[in-house]
Structure 1
Amino acid sequence: MLLEEFDANKTAIINPDMCVEKIENFPEVTISCFSEELFNEVLEFFRAKEIASVHSASGLNPIYEVTYKGKRFAMFKSMVGEPLCVGQYEEIIAMGSKRLILLGNCGVLDKRIEDCGIIIPIKAVRDEGTSYHYAKPCDTIDVNHNYRDEFKKVLKEFGYPYVEGITWTTDACYRETRDKVNKRKEMGAVCVEMECAGMQALCNFRGTEFFQFFYAGDNLDHSSWEPRSLSGSARLDDKSKIMLLAFELGLKILEKL
């Protein structure tokens, strides 16, 4: 089986540090989201300074330095889909990123989870391919080893309820069939997304810290698909406040360093 051919050798033929240069004094905490609308909305809050960019055939993706409550953070927009998301962050790690807080939308497999509700994943089902190049094969990977308690304190301080549970990471958003949804629910999954398993595997492999949380979007736990606030422009004010929770977590992380 091809996906059982995990190679733990950290030196590949092409390595990220061959493609980017290290940035001196890179901020200790990096924050990212996927939505362009959300990213641009939050970026307007800051006096942002571009410190680097990730190059690809799709164009440039800038990385900014921003200041939140007197503390420096790096901030960039992640690519949607695990291979792109992982490859992009490989280069940002090579630039100097040490720890990443990543937030994004997810589909819910439990209709009791409210639209835009906060979900903290504790494990990811590896129904994808990228993570198998960064970790030995198995069906799941533990996620959010660090800072779960700190994030819960942030949520309590700002009055946000949350759900903890297993997430289903898949590469194929148009192949989430009813049978597959039911099987993942039997495994304990409460939501579905496209990046978490691979991003945790990458950060484990590279020895960097990673924390991801979701805000609930579309509902798959229904006789027919319910998009709810899946659109990037839907409930943008609520999502902007949710993204600021990542910066609050970043403050708590900086306090511990």
Structure 2
Amino acid sequence: MQSTSPLQPMHMNLSTQDLQGNGRLGRYVLLPGSDGRAEAIAQRLQNVKVQSHSRRHNFYMGTWQDIEIGVMSSGMGCPSMDIIATELLHLGARRIIRVGTAGSLQPQRLRIGSLVVPTAAVRDEGTSRHYLDPSVPVQASLEFLDAVRRAAREQKLEGRVHLGITHTKDSLYAREFGEGPMQAEHSRYMQHLQAAGVLASEMECAQLFTLTQVWNQKLLQTEKDRPSVRSGAILAVIGDDQPFADGEEVKLTIERAIDLGFATIATWFKNEDRPWL
């Protein structure tokens, strides 16, 4: 990253004005994986305006409880998250929440219908290695984690929401389902993660957390008067010892994750000026 100044986005139809709102904070941005889910989330907003794009990274902007919010698909995998989050950051986004799905790595206690909030991500993918050495850990923002814990208590979700380390991978079918000639290696690796207590596996969080850390370091040097970047994720568990739940169960779990996302934004916004400690 050569500069934190705005660039002309190539994968979305947005300007810096579209990311403004909530005083100096800018819009809170929710990033689901698909445009269909982004459109569904946006139905909860008032005064919705849509900035469409041919690649289906449409940006839905509106208000919820007088908080200015944007919703956009990140696409699937870290390369797509890299493109979408980077362009949003250049345009001024400073509060980003991934709302997505994951498979349980602890199926004996973390079943379909649970929600996982990553505190940090195992970087088992290639995109973040273009930014940071593999030995550098990446984590969710502490302010987000504080807000989501408060929101989960208010929503009476304590037994359903699990905070901990999650796994970000490049290949769903090879790494998780053993496709290809390296099946034995993949099986050993996933068993290792399970034994280490990693909660769940997904495909985007590591890059979002990496960009957050890299951008904050850059902003400390170049734009100290602007808000720091804060990010986190809420993941709906849609697979345990069964790869995928049925459609209705998946829908209900994703709705639960979205509910917690909005509750987290409300709690976060209310406490923005307070230290997370």
Task: Mark yes or no: TM-score above 0.5.
Answer: yes
Over the matched positions of the two proteins, sequence identity in percent amounts to 19
Q: Is the 8 A contact 1:78 1:85 kept in 2?
A: yes
Q: How many angstroms apart in 2 are the aligned matches of 1:46 and 1:33? A: 15
- TM alignment of 1:113-124, pairs within 5 A: 113-124=110-121
Map of 2:66 onto structure 1 = 70
Q: How many angstroms apart in 2 are the aligned matches of 1:51 and 1:204? A: 30
Distance change >3 Å, CA 123–CA 46, structure 1 → 2: closer
Map of 1:86 onto structure 2 = 82
Map of 1:4 onto structure 2 = none
Distance change >3 Å, CA 38–CA 240, structure 1 → 2: farther
Map of 1:156 onto structure 2 = 153
Once the two structures are overlaid, the 10-residue window that deviates more, 165-174 or 241-250, is: 241-250
- TM alignment of 1:101-180, pairs within 5 A: 101-111=97-107, 112-138=109-135, 140-160=137-157, 161=159, 162-176=161-175, 177-180=186-189
How many residue pairs get aligned? The number is 237
Which of the numbers 213, 233, 242 marks the counterpart of 1:204?
A: 213
- Is the aligned partner of 1:216 residue 2:237? yes
1:94-125 CA distances to partner (integer Å, 9 max, x unpaired)? Answer: 22211101111001111121212111212211
Q: Is the 8 A contact 1:144 1:212 kept in 2?
A: no
Distance change >3 Å, CA 54–CA 154, structure 1 → 2: same
- Is the aligned partner of 1:17 residue 2:14? no
Q: Is the 8 A contact 1:22 1:96 kept in 2?
A: no
AA aligned opposite 1:103: V
Distance change >3 Å, CA 41–CA 22, structure 1 → 2: closer
Distance change >3 Å, CA 37–CA 113, structure 1 → 2: farther
Map of 2:181 onto structure 1 = none
Q: How many angstroms apart in 1 are the aligned matches of 2:233 and 2:198? A: 16
Q: How many angstroms apart in 2 are the aligned matches of 1:77 and 1:18? A: 19
TM-score by length of 2: 0.76
Q: Is the 8 A contact 1:22 1:94 kept in 2?
A: no
Which of the numbers 241, 244, 262 marks the counterpart of 1:247?
A: 262
- Is the aligned partner of 1:49 residue 2:70? no
1:7-65 CA distances to partner (integer Å, 9 max, x unpaired)? Answer: xxx318xx97143664226232111212444333332233453364566xxx2411121
Q: How many angstroms apart in 2 are the aligned matches of 1:92 and 1:45? A: 22
AA aligned opposite 2:79: P
Q: Is the 8 A contact 1:122 1:165 kept in 2?
A: yes
Q: How many angstroms apart in 1 are the aligned matches of 2:268 and 2:44? A: 21
Instruction: Give 5+ residue unaligned stretches, structure 2.
Output: 176-185, 217-228
Instruction: Give 5+ residue unaligned stretches, structure 1.
Output: 1-9
The secondary structure found in structure 1 opposite 2:98 is strand
The secondary structure found in structure 2 opposite 1:120 is strand
Question: Displacement of 1:139 after TM fit?
Answer: 6.6
Q: Is the 8 A contact 1:38 1:240 kept in 2?
A: no
Question: Displacement of 1:197 after TM fit?
Answer: 0.9
Q: How many angstroms apart in 1 are the aligned matches of 2:136 and 2:244? A: 28
Map of 1:7 onto structure 2 = none
TM-score by length of 1: 0.82
Question: Displacement of 1:204 after TM fit?
Answer: 1.3
Superposition CA RMSD, Å: 2.4
Q: Is the 8 A contact 1:125 1:139 kept in 2?
A: no
Higher strand fraction (1 or 2): 1
